């Protein structure tokens, strides 16, 4: 079939810079897949696909660390619970995974994105000449004007006063600074935010949670804030898969949220007889 202008217009509707193909050849962003397979770790490939550049060794390690850190927080997390329930309803493993990922919204998985916005804003204020403390205070004020009082990335219902993932991730950033491949400035900013929020509570320490800590890493890596959510989804997909798979092995059908002997309480609406 010889190509017409109309064909080109249709093909142009789906233009991409990510992948190029002809029979027997697949290239991602200009590199043959046969050169990538076997020479590229999964984390490095993730970076290359979403950001279009190649990470340095320290950057790859930090991305690996962030992806490992976020894989799971157990069946109390709604995304994990839903994926486990889906796995008992007679759908495919892919559908169970999609069920979980679909729930990583602004509140459940999007917190990292909002936190990265805060960090980048504080950094921009420092670039304009403000000190860390002043920039942190101004950044927090601006962020809260948009998103409200509770700062995404800080505080944990369960892990008090420390979410164990945060100091470990920030430690890795500090170690990486010597290599010159990351600067550590976002580790400073993250800790300044944490310190400021703890001060507001009269000095009771407030945890930097997984969203706040991975946002430090994603900012150190120079990745755009909205990608934080996407990368978190890749990471959490692992836990979602592991739990859906474990659940499938139990052979249960139509698993509800609590033991079948317990029924939800019924509370008549105001005004009902």
Contacting its own copies (CB under 8 A), which of 55, 58, 59, 86?
86
Q: Which of residues 208-267 bind its own copies (CB under 8 A)?
A: 226-227, 229-231, 233-235, 237-239, 241-246, 248, 253-267
Q: How far is the CB of 170 from its own copies (least distance, A)?
A: 11
**Binding track over 44-83 against its own copies, x by CB under 8 A:** -xx--xx-x--------x-xxx-xxx-xxxxxxxxx-xx-
User: How far lies 18's CA from each of 8, 14, 72, 82, 90, in Å?
Assistant: 18, 11, 29, 32, 35
Is residue 8 exposed (0-12), middle (13-18) or buried (19+ Cβ within 10 Å)? exposed
Tokens representing residue 124 in the block: 């921009």
| Per-residue binder mask for its own copies (CB under 8 A), 3-22, x = binder | -xxxxxxxxxxxxxxxxxx-
Name which of 128 and 254 has its Cβ closer to its own copies.
Answer: 254
User: Per-residue x/- mask for its own copies, residues 158 to 197, rule CB under 8 A?
Assistant: xxx-xxxx--xx-xx-------------------------
Would you count residue 149 as binding its own copies (CB under 8 A)? Answer: no
What's the half-sphere exposure (Cβ side, CA atoms, 13 Å) at 241?
A: 8
DSSP secondary structure, 176-199, as one string: HHTTTS---HHHHHHHHHHHHHHH
CB of residue 131 to its own copies, shortest distance in Å: 31
d(CA 143, CA 126): 16
For residue 125, whether the previous peptide bond is cis, meaning omega lies within 30 degrees of 0, is no
d(CA 192, CA 154): 12
Is position 134 an interface residue for its own copies (rule: CB under 8 A)? no
| Interaction of residue 92 with its own copies, rule CB under 8 A | yes
Min separation Cβ 121 and its own copies, Å: 20
């Amino acid at each position: 079939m010889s190509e017409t202008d109309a064909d080109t217009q249709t093909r142009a509707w789906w233009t991409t810079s990510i992948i190029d193909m002809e029979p027997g050849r697949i290239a991602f962003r200009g590199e043959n897949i046969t050169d990538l397979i076997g020479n590229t770790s999964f984390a490095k490939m993730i970076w290359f696909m979403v950001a279009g550049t190649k990470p340095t060794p320290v950057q790859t390690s930090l991305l690996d660390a962030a992806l490992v850190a976020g894989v799971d927080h157990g069946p109390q997390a709604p995304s994990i619970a839903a994926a486990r329930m889906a796995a008992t309803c007679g759908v495919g493993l892919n559908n169970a995974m999609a069920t979980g990922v679909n729930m990583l919204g602004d509140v459940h998985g999007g917190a990292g994105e909002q936190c990265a916005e805060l960090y980048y804003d504080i950094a921009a204020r420092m670039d304009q000449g403000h000190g860390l403390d002043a920039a942190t205070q101004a950044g927090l004020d601006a962020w809260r004007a948009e998103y409200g009082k509770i700062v995404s990335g800080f505080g944990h219902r369960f892990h008090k006063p420390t979410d164990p993932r945060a100091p470990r991730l920030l430690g890795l950033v500090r170690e990486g600074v010597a290599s010159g491949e990351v600067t550590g400035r976002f580790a400073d900013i993250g800790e300044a935010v944490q310190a400021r929020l703890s001060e507001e509570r009269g000095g009771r320490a407030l945890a930097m949670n997984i969203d706040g800590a991975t946002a430090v890493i994603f900012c150190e890596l120079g990745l755009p804030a909205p990608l934080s959510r996407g990368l978190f989804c890749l990471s959490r997909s692992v836990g979602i898969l592991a739990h859906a798979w474990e659940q499938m092995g139990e052979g249960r059908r139509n698993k509800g949220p609590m033991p079948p002997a317990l029924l939800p309480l019924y509370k008549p609406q105001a005004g009902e007889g």
